[in-house]
Amino acid sequence: MANKAKILCFAGSLRADSVNKKLVKIAMQGAKDAGADVTYIDLKDYQLPIYDEDIETTVGIPENAVKLKELFLANNGLLMATPEYNSSVSAVWKNTIDWVSRSANGEPMLHCYAGKVAAIMSASPGQLGGLRCLTHVRSILENIQVMVIPDQFALPMAYSAFSVDESKLVDEKKNETVIKIGEKLANVTAKLLV
């Protein structure tokens, strides 16, 4: 691979035993296997206040938002899984996206997103696997200048979908689909690097 993709991987969930964290780690392995440099972060390590312009104006961008912005800027691909809350995205996922979008030190708006490539997934205990939130995730990302690959994955009945060691999905076909999403993100991102 002439150009090496650098991919930031995370789940839009804070829960320690999150099925979305488990899912993104499977796809992350696919990106690694395709030659990408991958960085996994847990948003629990970057806790933020709910976005409030008064905070931004009076105190500035929180330290954890600055750290996240640096991580987003250091990577050219985004691999993410988010739970579906009330038929849409999780609050922590959206809050992260909002804080990272804020301009600092004269940089252009959406500087952390422009030109990035993303792959999106969701896992849910329900029958639809979080499918409804993926429409919102795709729309949000595309509107902030992120190219989202067409492949996406929604994992239904997620609490019983993982192997005992939680390193893969019990259903081999689904497991391969998730790995291939990581691979495709790595390959597409690398091809788009100038």
CA angle 10/11/17 to nearest 5° reads: 120
3-state secondary structure 106-159: CCCCCCCCCCCEEEEEEECCCCCCCHHHHHHHHHHHHHCCCEEEEEEEEECCHH
**Partners of 11 in beta bridges:** 81
CATH number at residue 93: 3.40.50.360
- Flag whether 163 is in a domain: yes
- Flag whether 179 is in a domain: yes
**Partners of 119 in beta bridges:** 79
Of residues 109 and 58, more confidence is placed in 58
Q: What mean pLDDT do residues 142-157 have?
A: 97
Query: pLDDT tier at 97 (50, 70, 90 boundaries)?
Result: very high
- Flag whether 173 is in a domain: yes
107: containing domain: 6-192
CA pair distance 155, 20, nearest whole angstrom: 9
- Flag whether 1 is in a domain: no
Total of domains in the chain: 1
- Flag whether 129 is in a domain: yes
CA pair distance 53, 158, nearest whole angstrom: 36
| pLDDT higher than 50, residue 169 | yes
Q: Which of 43, 34, 26 is nearest to 153 (CA)?
A: 26
Is 133 in contact with 88 (CB distance < 8 Å)?
yes
CA pair distance 177, 194, nearest whole angstrom: 28
- Flag whether 96 is in a domain: yes
Query: pLDDT tier at 175 (50, 70, 90 boundaries)?
Result: very high
Q: Which pLDDT score, from 0 to 100, does residue 1 have?
A: 43
pLDDT one-digit tens code per residue, 5-64: 999 999 999 999 999 999 999 999 999 999 999 999 999 999 999 999 999 999 999 999
Q: Which pLDDT score, from 0 to 100, does residue 107 have?
A: 85
- Flag whether 108 is in a domain: yes
Q: What mean pLDDT do residues 82-95 have?
A: 96
Strands 6-11, 77-81: parallel, antiparallel or unpaired by DSSP? Answer: parallel
